[in-house]
Amino acid sequence: MRAIADRGLRMAGPARGGSHPPGPRGGRPAFSSLTPGRPRQPRPALPTPRLLLAALALLLFAPPAAAAAKRVVVIKVDGLPHAAVERFVRERDRRTGKSVLPWFEHVFYERGTRLNNFYVRGMSLSGPSWSLLDTGQHLQIKGNVEFDRYTLHSYDYLNFIPFWIANVGGVRVDMPGAELLDELGIPLLADAYPYDERFMSFQLYQRGNRWTTLQRGLQNAVTSRGIRDFIDEWNTIGVGGRDILNEQQERELIGKLQDPRVRYLDFYTTDFDHAAHHNRDRATQLAALKELDALVGRLWAAIQQTPQAAETALVLVSDHGTNTDERVYSQGYNLVKLLGRAEGGGHHVVTKRRLLNDYALKGIYPLIPLIYTTTEESFYLKGESTTYPTALVDFDGNERASIHLRDSDLNLLHILLLELRRGKLSEPQRRAAREAFFQTLERRRPGWQRTFDELREELGALRRLIERQRRLVESQPKKFTKADADAGRDKEARREFARLDSWTGDERKYAAYAQQLANLLALDPARFTPERVRVEDLFAPGAMGDANTVRQLQNYVVGPAPRGLTLDIGGALDYEKSFRRVNYFELLARIAVLNNVQPGVASRPVDFSAVRVPAEAIAGALGEDLRADEVIWLYGGRDRQALVLARTGGGLSLRYLPVADLRQGADGRVTFTRAAWGAGLPLKLWEDARLAVPGGVSREAWLSGWRTDLEWLRAAHRTAYSNAVVGLHEQLGRHATEATDDRAPGLAEDERLLRRFRRRQRELVETDLLIFANDHWNFDVRGFNPGGNHGSLFRVSTHSTLMLAGGERAGVPRGLAVEEPYDSLSFMPTLLALTGQVEDGTRPVQALWRMGYRRFPGRLIGEIFEGRTDAPAPVADAEAAP
């Protein structure tokens, strides 16, 4: 999905100061006013009595110098495992007798608070993980790369280079992740601070781009060194582009610390993540950590030299851990090749990462297009890899992979059409094939017709939105003063153009898909002449169509049967015998490699697959007792299956249900048999000695009940799969936002349609199969990551780092180690609470509410605030939020 918001109903009223309209994007108007259907609180001209009372209470009871961080500096470290930090902080340097990470110890262990059990909520993958940390809201971005099933549009949240180029061209202002969250009405942490009061480094959810950083980085790389150092470092040791950028960003951040107006600063580094992907050895990882340690020291020292030191909090946070072990190389398995092979379905596969990128001449091209991996083993689409890819794979992470397969019925129709066009069928076969073609079409007609009708409505609303946006873009000033630039107004104007550009692209692509759907639906059996239709008119090139059902994935049509179309006794097409089919669950679970050369690494690369099962399809089989709003099926083999059930009304409750023989019938109903608890089930909870069920309750009884997400976290966080039950729901569940809730009362029709369109776009990137790798396996095929990987739900990969320290008035306890487990959703509310910007732990203050922030689903890290008699003094105005 790309940016949509109803410009006609957008309010641009200044919320603070009046110098510029604050909002999630700094210079952008408050998001709460962007979505017209949202029941907006009418802004009272005068404070209400309730607000007056609150203000009075604050004045009366708040201590004169209430402890609250007035400034926050966040070091964002990609892929920093807590265990690595803990291990090395405890290790003494033989030469000095100090910790080998002395600054970590000095700042966070002695003068701050650290969380010993801080986990990713969801997969341990950078794109999704940072979105949780940066928003404090449930997961919307489900992978580093996402594909739209209808349009083949790819969202590449990690790739800076296309963003930089688009930024130079003026067509994009923010990284794709930030753009998408804007569209969903979810502001970032940095958005809580006006443009000129924050300093953002280059990162995944980046707003704007400072070209001067690149330019000055290059200059300083040469001029900041003496000639001797230059020779030593550049010629002998080597300094890479990332070093130059990091150095310059650090320089700029330290410079910004001198500006008392700047209250939010962050620094993003991927160095440890890169080192751990490449090298498993202790020395390399320690060297990367030492660099980080030195950075902590430099930033801490720089903060201490500013007048705001006492009120500054330094926070170090990571998005996930890393599965790295000195004794083991992480082994890759090529799912793309598997899908291309006959046994895998003979798919032409689309990826967003080039296979063996470092060995390809095309790999030097910075604008990564869609990569098509052609197979010679396709059963009916030979030579048509760029027109009809039938699988999309995202393997980033790389301990997991997401796979989209083309709607199996589209394959079936496509095969039948090709067979009919070939003219080699006997007349009975031909008649049966025609019948089967239209039978299938009729079976799917209701769903496709509904999609077409809805899309038509939504695209109508989108076109009207585009027209309004076009007028808005034309009305934007063409030139900006320095004051405008300093306030970010130039970027805001360019953002309007970026939105227009994005929506225009969406409209064009979806319209094309809708047209082809219409063509298919318009086929009339009486006038149907297969030889005269163009295949591309009926089957949208590149489109995957609707998501496959469990039944389809268990009986996926990959080509005509070797003996061609077969008729049954009645002369009708025998669907079973006429097509080659693949059961993808079994296929993936069956994969085993020939070379099993490392002790402790299994010969099976795939641990289990996870799919979302429509709750209504399985409701009958579950019964009332097990009634669930959302259902996820985990398949690790014939005798290794389970369901994760979720009830979402009135707080999240989750249940793990061992099952067997799950199937979906032709009528869509899902059936299964209950299985007993035992070892070997997905997530291996039963046999994990570290599962901590409450005293007095048997393991079976506890595991067989409905538990809240917090109960699951507390009981399971030390197990091998840690908070995987919660994480699976976070990853595969649907989390509505105001911007996708088209059922909210009082919405204007266009807004309702646009919200539905946004929701559709999010659902279109949901994959058919989410595949998790076994321990020390990965699915990276862009290159090799023998050092280690992440992406899975293993504790080693989800156990992340969060540490805080601050000056004496920043309100961060000293020498505190928090043992209570927390997850990513706790980060944002805790940070905002530390700066006095949330009330009762989850509700943003009015100023933030107006900017689009909403109640945070995560828990506050209470230990930080325990024993404090003083309420954090709000930095923003402290009106009560609705």
Partner 1 sequence: MTHVNPKRIARKVFSLALIPLLLVSLAPRRAALGQIAAIVASDEDVLPRTGRAAPLFRLERTPVGREGELLTVFGGLGGPAPAAGTQQEVPLVSILRDTLGDEDPENDRLRHVWMLTYTRPTAWQRVASAVPFLYGRVGGKRASAKGMPPAVIDLAAPERDVWQRFMWLALQNVLINPHGAVAKSSSSALRANSERYRQAHILRALAILSLYEAETGERSPFTVAEAEEIQARLMLADQTFGGLLDDAYLERVHQKQHSQWLDTRGHNWELLRQRAEAEGLYFEPLTLPDGEPTHALLWVAREDLWKHRRRKFEKRFLNIAKPWGDRRLERWDGHTERRFYDAENRPVPEGTMGARVVELIPLALYGLDHPKIPSLLVDFRDGRNPQRREMSHRVIEDVARHVLALSRYGDIHYFLGRTVFDFVTSRRGMDINQPSRVRAYTQLKLLLSLDATLDRDLRREIEKRVERVSLNPLENDLEAEARIARRQYEALRAYAARPDGLAARLDRDRRAEMVPLAHGRAERVLLRFAGVLSLGLYKHREGAPAAEVRAALDRERKLAHHGRFLRKVSKSSPLVEVVWNVEDVRRSLRFVAESGARAGASTAKAASLIFARTHDAETRRLCLESLYRINNETAKRELLAIYRRPELDAGLRAVTERYLRDALREEQRIAPADAKAILAAVGR
Q: Is 94 in the site for partner 1 (CB under 8 A)?
A: yes
Cα 832 to Cα 735: distance, rounded to the nearest angstrom? 22
Angle (CA) 843-854-798 rounded to 5° is 90
Work out whether 648 is an interface residue with partner 1 (CB under 8 A).
Answer: no
| Among 87, 210, 225, 278, interactor with partner 1 by CB under 8 A | 278
Please say whether the beta carbons of 3 and 183 come within 8 A: yes
By CB under 8 A, is residue 96 in contact with partner 1? yes
Residue 120 CA to residue 122 CA, distance in Å, equals 6
- Minimum distance from residue 197 beta carbon to partner 1 (Å): 26
One-letter amino acid at 183 equals E
Residues 104-123 that bind partner 1 (CB under 8 A): 106
Under rule CB under 8 A, residue 232 binds partner 1? yes
The smaller minimum CB distance to partner 1, of residues 59 and 283, is found at 283
Q: How far apart are CA 583 and CA 600, in angstroms?
A: 29
| Site membership for partner 1, residue 504 (CB under 8 A) | no
Residue 449 interacts with partner 1 (CB under 8 A): yes or no:
no
**Residue 767 phi, psi dihedral angles, 5° rounding:** -90, 165
Q: Is 397 in the site for partner 1 (CB under 8 A)?
A: no
Q: How far is the CB of 307 from partner 1 (least distance, A)?
A: 14
Nearer to partner 1, 104 or 195 (CB): 104
Could you give the string, one character per residue 583-602, with x where binding to partner 1 holds by CB under 8 A and - elsewhere? Answer: ---------xxxxxx----x
Name the segment binding partner 1 (CB under 8 A); options: 22-30, 281-289, 344-352, 622-630.
Answer: 281-289
Measured distance CA(757)–CA(269) in Å, rounded: 35
Q: Is residue 17 within the footprint of partner 1 (CB under 8 A)?
A: no
Instruction: List the one residue out of 104, 207, 788 whose CA is nearest residue 492.
Output: 207
Site string for partner 1, 188-227 (x = CB under 8 A): ----------------------------------------
* Position 522 contacts partner 1 (CB under 8 A): no
CB of 396 to partner 1, least distance (A): 17
Residue 526 makes CB contacts below 8 A (sequence gap 6+) with none
Q: Measuring CA to CA, which residue among 456, 467, 457 is closest to residue 511?
A: 456
Complex with partner 1: residue 297 or 637, whichever CB lies closer: 297
Question: Please, are residues 71 and 263 in contact by the beta-carbon 8 Å criterion?
Answer: yes
* Region binding partner 1 by CB under 8 A among candidate stretches 167-175, 234-242, 498-506, 684-692: 234-242
Burial of 263 by CB count in 10 Å (0-12 exposed, 13-18 middle, 19+ buried)? buried
Tell whether the torsion through CA atoms of 77, 208, 138 and 630 is positive or negative.
negative
Q: Could you count the other beta carbons within 10 Å of the beta carbon of residue 527?
A: 7
For residue 57, give Cα distances in angstroms to 60, 328, 354. 5, 60, 60
Chain residues 329-388 in contact with partner 1, contact rule CB under 8 A = 329-332, 334, 337, 358-361, 363-364
CB of 231 vs partner 1, minimal distance in Å: 6
Does position 301 interact with partner 1 (CB under 8 A)? The reply is yes
**Which residues in 783-802 contact partner 1 (CB under 8 A)?**
783-784, 786-787
Asked if 103 touches partner 1 (CB under 8 A), the answer is: yes
H-state helical runs in 332-426:
335-340, 408-422
- Rank residues 48 and 596 by Cβ distance to partner 1 and give the closer one: 596
CA dist., res. 337 & res. 511, Å (int): 33
603 interacts with partner 1 by CB under 8 A: yes
CB of 289 to partner 1, least distance (A): 12
Write down the residue that tokens 């389809």 correspond to: 552
SS3 letters across 135-201: HCCCCCCCCCEEECCCCCCEEECCCHHHHHHHHHCCCCCECHHHHHHHHCCCCCCHHHCCHHHEECC
Shortest approach of partner 1 to residue 617 CB, angstroms? 36
Phi-psi region at 391: left, alpha or beta (left = phi > 0; alpha = psi -120 to 50): beta
Phi, psi values for residue 602, rounded to 5°:
-70, 160
Least Å from the CB of residue 364 to partner 1? 8
- Residue 463 exposed, middle or buried by CB count within 10 Å (0-12, 13-18, 19+): middle
Residues 719 and 608: their CA atoms lie apart, in Å, by: 17
Is 526 a residue that touches partner 1 (CB under 8 A)? no
Assess 532 for contact with partner 1 (CB under 8 A).
no
Distance between CA atoms of residues 178 and 796, nearest Å: 28
Q: Interacting stretch for partner 1, rule CB under 8 A, among 125-133, 300-308, 409-417, 724-732?
A: 300-308
Site for partner 1 contains 666 (CB under 8 A): no
Query: Shortest approach of partner 1 to residue 636 CB, angstroms?
Result: 16
Task: State which residue, 8 or 297, has the beta carbon closest to partner 1.
Answer: 297
638 near partner 1, judged by CB under 8 A: no
Q: From the CB of 298, what's the least distance to partner 1, in Å?
A: 5
| Length reported for the chain | 882
If the CB atoms of residues 278 and 431 are measured against partner 1, the closer one turns out to be 278
**Nearest approach, Cβ of 243 to partner 1 (angstroms)?**
12
Note whether 866 binds partner 1 by CB under 8 A.
no
**Cβ proximity of 543 and 152 under 8 Å:** yes
User: Does residue number 478 form part of the binding site for partner 1 (CB under 8 A)?
Assistant: no
d(CA 192, CA 844): 10
Residue 57 binds partner 1, judged by CB under 8 A: no
Pick the piece of the chain touching partner 1 (CB under 8 A) from 298-306, 309-317, 347-355, 636-644.
298-306
- Of the pair 103, 672, the CB lying nearest partner 1 is at 103
Distance CA 207, CA 200 (A): 8
Q: Which of 238, 240, 423, 446 binds partner 1 (CB under 8 A)?
A: 238
Number of residues near partner 1 (by CB under 8 A): 54
Q: Could you tell me which stretch among 46-54, 100-108, 202-210, 669-677 binds partner 1 (CB under 8 A)?
A: 100-108
Binding residues for partner 1, rule: CB under 8 A, are 94-98, 102-103, 106, 228, 231-233, 235-238, 275, 278-281, 283-284, 287, 294, 297-298, 300-302, 329-332, 334, 337, 358-361, 363-364, 592-597, 602-603, 783-784, 786-787
